[in-house]
């Protein structure tokens, strides 16, 4: 039996007061989070296109924990890593839906030539001579540097040595859908299509579920570099491994002529005839679709990646983006490789996408700024199958966020934020990049890349390439 203790009244009062004070202090204790990013404006890119003023984002464990006005965020959370938002706009990281990252090392190597001449007489021979694991590593590091600098947080890549690319992307902190390139031509890491398909399946098995920022996929090059049987087998492996496919599609008049002469059908009709689109398909370019083919793409839920700069530079044509949007096709944006662009600037792609459609449709109301921003963010995320994780800023989403400075001369005055982002902003305005909750760049400082070493290795490789073509 416990003995009853009689406490003096003053001591009892002190204990009650102390207990209440502790409870109040505990109640008011702020939750510690990894990062708090403030912003004068936050473009959420949600279904309502909500823009928040004087707000902040609490980031913890790689996720967006909260979005609220700055006062409320500061009342609820504390952090050792606060990012100022004065004269800054926060928005989802940009999604580059089609690239060949390592081809940064071939930037400007064979400009002002047609697609097939450029490929067959310059790019393919140089790749046979120089592309190895080291080339891919250096070129991909350079591309990651450039993409982080410009606010791209996710990219879809198609090139050789996918394991090397995946390691580089993991180290630099970006998010990537990395494809194992499949072609019936001899390539730097495969003898033929069968070899490439087998290698692609093995790569997927090695990297599936390995890291949250890498999605291994298959990248059949095109209908003119693979036959229909090989393309059908590629789709079978994709279905078996639950893997998306990225492919060049309806890119040039040459491709259309080849497909008609070989199969008696256009390339999209030929692929549909083998049920190639029965599965997630990321179709790059799609410059020459007929009305019938647009209907096929819409019905099969094929996502289209528009590459305006590359299409213009190679004179491939102007994709009918407005018509495809009207048909209900999801459109994203991509840069293509730096050898045919010649940069990886997604802001340039947004601007050109909007302007090209306005002039070809002779309608200034086509592709307004908000639509183009969605192409570079939410649409891109949905096309690649990550729409539940990235592409918009909402509580519970992965923290892939960028900050754009709005105090430089070309942003003054500012009446319409989405309009300024599309028609004014360029990659030099990006000041902060966060991917999966990890800070990759802030105010010109890179935290996951040794840019000096990359520059030195790029220069050495470029010297070798330049000497070979003299």
Q: Report d(CA 359, CA 19) in Å as an integer.
A: 72
Cβ burial, residue 137 (10 Å; 0-12/13-18/19+): middle
pLDDT at 110: 84
pLDDT-derived band at 189 (thresholds 50, 70, 90) equals confident
- Mean of pLDDT values over 16-44: 73
Please state the length of the chain: 470
Q: Are 344 and 99 in contact (CB under 8 A)?
A: yes
Model confidence pLDDT, tens digit, residues 428-462: 999 999 999 999 999 999 999 999 999 999 999 99
Question: Is the predicted pLDDT of residue 228 greater than 80, yes or no?
Answer: yes
pLDDT score at 11: 42
Residue range 58-101, pLDDT digits in tens:
999 999 999 999 999 999 999 999 999 999 999 999 999 999 99
Q: Helix (H, G, I), strand (E, B), or coil: what is residue 373?
A: helix
State how far Cα 61 lies from the chain centre.
21
pLDDT of residue 14: 41
Structure tokens at 380: 């891109």
148-160 residue pLDDT tens: 999 999 999 999 9
What whole-number percentage of the chain has pLDDT above 70?
94
Over 70: is that where the pLDDT of 387 sits? Answer: yes
pLDDT of residue 12: 41
| Calpha distance 399→391 (Å, rounded) | 10
pLDDT classification of 186: cutoffs 50, 70, 90: confident
More confident residue, 179 or 15: 179
Quick check: 277 and 293 in contact, CB under 8 A? Answer: no
| Of 18-22, 311-315, 429-433, the least confident | 18-22
What was the pLDDT predicted at 24? 44
CA distances 95 to 196, 235, 255, 375, 386, Å, are 27, 24, 27, 9, 11
413: buried, middle or exposed (CB in 10 Å: 19+, 13-18, 0-12)? exposed
HSE, side-chain direction, 13 A CA sphere, residue 73 = 22
Q: How high is the pLDDT of residue 116? A: 82
Q: What is the pLDDT of residue 57?
A: 98
327-369 pLDDT per residue, tens: 999 999 999 999 999 999 999 999 999 999 999 999 999 999 9
Amino acid 334: pLDDT = 98
pLDDT class for 18, splitting at 50, 70, 90?
Answer: very low
Six-digit token string for 222: 């095109």
- Cα angle, residue 412 at apex, residues 407 and 413 outer, rounded to 5°: 130
Average pLDDT score over residue span 158-174: 98
Contact 43, 394 (CB under 8 A): no
Tell me the domain boundaries of the chain: 94-388
Tell me: pLDDT of 2 over 60: no
At the fourth CATH level, which superfamily is domain 94-388? Metal-dependent hydrolases (3.20.20.140)
Give residue 25's pLDDT.
42
* Predicted TM-score of the model (pTM): 0.93
Q: Percentage of the chain surpassing pLDDT 90? A: 87
Task: Answer with the residue of higher pLDDT: 308 or 23.
Answer: 308
Query: Model confidence at 19, in pLDDT bands (50, 70, 90)?
Result: very low
pLDDT at 137 over 90: yes
Report the C-alpha gap between 264 and 285 in whole angstroms: 22
As a whole number, the mean pLDDT across the chain is: 93
pLDDT attached to residue 28: 61
- At residue 26, the pLDDT reads 42
d(CA 255, CA 368): 31
- Taking residues 250-263, what's their average pLDDT? 96
């Amino acid at each position: 039996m416990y003995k009853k203790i009689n406490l003096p009244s003053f001591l009892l009062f002190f204990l009650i007061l102390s207990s209440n004070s502790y409870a109040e202090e505990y109640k008011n204790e702020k939750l510690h989070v990894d990062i708090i990013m403030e912003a004068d404006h936050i473009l959420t890119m949600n279904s309502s296109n909500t823009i928040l003023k004087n707000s902040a984002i609490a980031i913890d464990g790689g996720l967006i924990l909260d979005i609220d006005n700055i006062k409320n965020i500061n009342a609820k959370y504390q952090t050792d890593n606060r990012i100022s938002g004065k004269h800054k706009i926060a928005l989802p990281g940009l999604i580059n839906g089609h690239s060949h990252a390592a081809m940064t090392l071939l930037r400007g190597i064979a400009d002002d030539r047609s697609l097939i001449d450029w490929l067959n007489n310059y790019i393919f021979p140089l790749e046979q001579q120089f592309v190895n694991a080291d080339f891919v590593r250096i070129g991909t590091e350079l591309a990651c540097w450039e993409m982080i600098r410009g606010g791209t947080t996710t990219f879809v890549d198609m090139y050789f040595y996918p394991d090397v690319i995946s390691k580089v992307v993991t180290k630099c902190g970006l998010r990537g859908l990395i494809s194992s390139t499949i072609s019936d031509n001899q390539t730097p890491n495969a003898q033929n299509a069968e070899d490439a398909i087998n290698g692609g399946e093995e790569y997927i098995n090695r990297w599936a579920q390995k890291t949250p920022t890498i999605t291994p996929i298959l990248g059949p090059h095109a209908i003119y570099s693979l036959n229909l049987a090989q393309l059908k087998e590629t789709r079978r492996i994709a279905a078996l491994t639950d893997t998306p496919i990225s492919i060049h599609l309806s890119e040039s008049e040459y491709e259309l002529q080849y497909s008609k002469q070989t199969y008696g059908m256009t390339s999209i009709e030929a692929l549909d005839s083998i049920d190639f689109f029965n599965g997630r398909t990321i179709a790059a370019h799609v410059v020459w679709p007929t009305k019938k083919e647009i209907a096929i793409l819409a019905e099969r839920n094929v996502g289209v990646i528009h590459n305006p700069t590359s299409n213009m530079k190679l004179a491939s044509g102007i994709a009918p983006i407005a018509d495809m949007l009207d048909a209900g096709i999801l459109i994203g944006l991509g840069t293509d490789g730096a050898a045919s662009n010649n940069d990886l600037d997604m802001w340039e792609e947004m601007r050109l996408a909007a302007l090209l459609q306005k002039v070809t449709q002779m309608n200034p109301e086509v592709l307004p700024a908000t639509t183009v921003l969605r192409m570079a963010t939410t649409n891109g995320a949905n096309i690649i199958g990550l729409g539940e994780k990235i592409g918009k800023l909402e509580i519970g989403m992965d923290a892939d966020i960028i900050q754009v400075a709005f105090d430089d001369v070309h942003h003054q005055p500012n009446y319409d934020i989405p309009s300024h982002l599309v028609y004014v902003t360029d990659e030099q305005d990006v000041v902060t990049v966060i991917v999966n909750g990890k800070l990759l760049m802030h105010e010109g400082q890179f935290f996951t890349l040794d840019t000096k070493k990359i520059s030195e290795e790029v220069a050495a490789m470029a010297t070798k390439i330049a000497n070979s073509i003299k």
